[in-house]
Structure 1
Amino acid sequence: MDRRSFLTKGALGGTAAAATALAAPAYAASHGSTTLTMVTSWPRGLAGVWDSVERFVNSVADITDGSLMIDAKGAGELVGALESFDAVSSGQADMYHAADYYFVNQHPALAFFTAVPMGMSAPEMMVWYYSMGGLELHHEVGEIFNTKHFIAGQTGAQGGGWFRNPITSADDFQGLKFRMPGLGGQALSKLGASVQTLPGGEIYQALATGALDATEWIGPWSDEKLGLQEVAKHYYPAGFHEPGAALSVCCNLDVFNGLSRSHQRAIEIAAAEGHQANYSLFIANNGPALDRLLAAGVQTHQFTDDVWDAFGAASAEVLEGYRSDPLFAKVHDSVNAGMKAAAGWMSLSDSAYVAQRTRVLGNM
């Protein structure tokens, strides 16, 4: 697809104007060191996601012995949390760190590189991305917008959400004011929910004031840090919308191509290393955090089978609705093939083993 043609059809949306108000990018070489400005979708210090930013930045500096430095900005410091894509695509910032499904209005295929409803788990995504063509497809989507993408973080399976009242049937989503980005949010809309996309820094206030009835964020650790247990007591650990959610680093393509090959590789390697490190960080912290939440009076629930059936039907309808776009269909087919290949083996090996271990030894 011709990038110029795509953009003139309004792909950048209303946030492009905000991005153009920025100063020129900080991409510059001085005293033998190159500094890139990175905008992000995360407030500074936000548990898990800001850790991913810091690890990536530090890894690039370490790998290059300080010859490539990245100046990371929190959400709102240069652009708003959801404006980072436009800033990097237009050349007003050098890089971003975000979840690419925030930008499905640019191209719906970007959702696959964070998470899609009823999609890949974190291990399945790792297999597809690094061994079955996912990385190359990420780059192909980015070329439309003059961007270069790499997944650089992973939250693992995300919780189904925090609710003021339990969900007893799919009908309970009718009119529910719910925060959920990406294609998962679109699926929830088909169940009658009033879906909102809010950045992480705005969720607590919206839930506390009643602007939201329910929300999802990430998982017990990040959600506890955000304080969601203070304003909603019913928590669903399993969700349909993000079975394994990746975070991304994205460079302006002209900036990336202007770097030395060693600096390009530093970005690629730091992103890949950050992906696995971030996954382990979330998983290591979620169990203890859930114990603390339960001790504080949070009640956990699981959605009933009929609710899961409704999630599945709505998700399939959303995904099918985008398949008229050839690139979306190409990525979707690749994801399905990768998921089938990985899950086919893992269900007979990993999953069977864990089930038997639990039966024999308990949860330990």
Structure 2
Amino acid sequence: MNALTRRNLLSGGAVAAASLATPALAQGKTEWRMVTSWPKNLPGPGMTAERLAQRIGAMSGGRLTVRLYAAGEIVSGLEVLDAVRGGAADAGHTASFYWQGKHPATVFFTTFPFGLTPTEHMAWIEHGGGQALWDELYARFEVKPFMAGNPGFNMGGWFVRPIRSLDDIRGLRLRVAGTGGEIYRRLGATPLTTPVSEILPALQSGMIDGAEFLGPQSDLASGFYKVARYYHHPGFNKPNGTGELIVSAKAWNALPDDLKAVVENAARAENAYSLAEAELMNARALAALKEKDIELVRFPADVVRAAQGAAAAILDEIAATDAIAGRIVASYRAARATLAPWSEVSVRSFLEARDPD
């Protein structure tokens, strides 16, 4: 596969390729080890991690290179934060909601049920005070976070049997990430946190009855349709999918200011590039899935209402955790209250006018 040119990386025209990182031998050059939560070459976040590594190398003129390790090569996908914090890696590409067991407010920096859309989330982080709160929260983990990739809107997940009413949720064993797991628990299901590489085998073995992951692009590549043919929407559990680059405080503080700017802007470029890519690739993948004898199923109204009630209660509970959680929830709520009316009269009303049927 051809290496990416510096011009392509700087312009956002990067295409997926293998990592350019090589051991740093010359004085003044630095090499990072970056672990990820994704299988190698996974469409969506896996390819985002590869492009991000290349962007950093190209934009720094080779002064900072990144050697990439997929989930399982050094640590599992759910151990990325500990690996970066503990020094096994300098950086990681992952998603913040995997760390809700360490602090429940981490979920807001990926997504929250019935929360911000992808562009609304970017507005909150970049311009609404979200980044400062994220930095403050992650300081306790000794890492510096950045938005660094987004697969866009997520689907509601794959189910072996269709969900036609709230009663159909009860008793199910579901792979679900983020706060959605607690929502499903309150609706009567048993949520499980399963690494991405183990979702399909768990469906095949009958260990789980359903699973949500991302959107059509990544879901198609993961092969879930081979076992569970009922594909549900809307993705109320994960209306956004921001991935994060986390850099150890030690590695970050060792960089000169110009290389810090390289890392920050490489992450920002990949975040925008991947979101644009996701819109097209998810559309193509959904069309491909429709040809594979799947059934698109809209969650029934009683499931959505029950999930909304559970989400509101969980939001209050997280806010009461500690002072920083309270400030994060307040900021997130304020962003949603500010942005929602504009989304209503811009996006929703336009789509209704464009596609009235």
Q: 2:149 corresponds to which residue?
A: 153
* Percent of aligned pairs with the same amino acid: 33
Does structure 1 conserve the Cα–Cα contact (< 8 Å) formed by 2:57 and 2:65? yes
The yes-or-no answer on 1:333 pairing with 2:330 is yes
Deviation at 1:287?
1.4
Q: 2:13 corresponds to which residue?
A: none
Deviation at 1:144?
1.0
Could you tell me how far apart the structure 2 residues matched to 1:335 and 1:70 are?
33
Deviation at 1:141?
0.8
Q: 1:351 corresponds to which residue?
A: 348
Does structure 1 conserve the Cα–Cα contact (< 8 Å) formed by 2:60 and 2:259? yes
SS, match of residue 102 in structure 2: coil
Letter in 2 for 1:247: G
Runs of 4+ in structure 1 over 6 Å off: 26-29
Indicate which of 68, 72, 77 corresponds to 2:73.
Answer: 77
Q: 1:40 corresponds to which residue?
A: 36
Which residues in structure 2 correspond to 1:300-311 (within 5 Å)? 300-311=296-307
Does structure 2 conserve the Cα–Cα contact (< 8 Å) formed by 1:29 and 1:35? no
Could you tell me how far apart the structure 1 residues matched to 2:305 and 2:323 are?
28
- TM superposition score normalised by structure 2: 0.91
Q: 2:201 corresponds to which residue?
A: 205
Which residues in structure 2 correspond to 1:184-223 (within 5 Å)? 184-223=180-219
Which stretch has the larger CA shift, 317-326 or 64-73?
Answer: 317-326
**Cα root mean square deviation, aligned:** 1.5
Deviation at 1:28?
7.2
Q: 2:15 corresponds to which residue?
A: none
SS, match of residue 108 in structure 2: helix
The yes-or-no answer on 1:89 pairing with 2:85 is yes
Q: 2:314 corresponds to which residue?
A: 318
Q: 1:298 corresponds to which residue?
A: 294
Letter in 1 for 2:140: I
- TM superposition score normalised by structure 1: 0.89
SS, match of residue 138 in structure 1: helix
Could you tell me how far apart the structure 2 residues matched to 1:37 and 1:173 are?
42
Which residues in structure 2 correspond to 1:217-296 (within 5 Å)? 217-296=213-292
Letter in 1 for 2:276: S
Does structure 2 conserve the Cα–Cα contact (< 8 Å) formed by 1:27 and 1:94? no
SS, match of residue 235 in structure 2: coil
Q: 2:126 corresponds to which residue?
A: 130
Does structure 1 conserve the Cα–Cα contact (< 8 Å) formed by 2:318 and 2:329? no
Deviation at 1:27?
10
Deviations 1:134-183 (A, max 9, x none): 11111111111111000101111111011111111112111101000111
Q: 2:18 corresponds to which residue?
A: none
**Where in structure 1 are there 5+ consecutive unaligned residues?**
1-25
SS, match of residue 174 in structure 2: strand
Deviation at 1:350?
2.8
Deviations 1:200-225 (A, max 9, x none): 11111000110110001111111111
Deviations 1:322-341 (A, max 9, x none): 22221111111111111111
Which stretch has the larger CA shift, 338-347 or 125-134?
Answer: 338-347
Letter in 1 for 2:266: A
Does structure 1 conserve the Cα–Cα contact (< 8 Å) formed by 2:155 and 2:215? yes
Does structure 1 conserve the Cα–Cα contact (< 8 Å) formed by 2:233 and 2:299? no
The yes-or-no answer on 1:53 pairing with 2:55 is no
SS, match of residue 195 in structure 1: strand
Could you tell me how far apart the structure 1 residues matched to 2:48 and 2:131 are?
19
Indicate which of 96, 101, 104 corresponds to 2:100.
Answer: 104
Could you tell me how far apart the structure 1 residues matched to 2:247 and 2:39 are?
20
Q: How many residues align?
A: 335
Does structure 2 conserve the Cα–Cα contact (< 8 Å) formed by 1:181 and 1:197? yes
Deviation at 1:91?
2.4
Deviation at 1:31?
3.3
Letter in 2 for 1:119: G
Could you tell me how far apart the structure 1 residues matched to 2:61 and 2:199 are?
38
Letter in 2 for 1:196: L
Could you tell me how far apart the structure 2 residues matched to 1:252 and 1:63 are?
20
Could you tell me how far apart the structure 2 residues matched to 1:338 and 1:27 are?
43
**Where in structure 2 are there 5+ consecutive unaligned residues?**
1-21
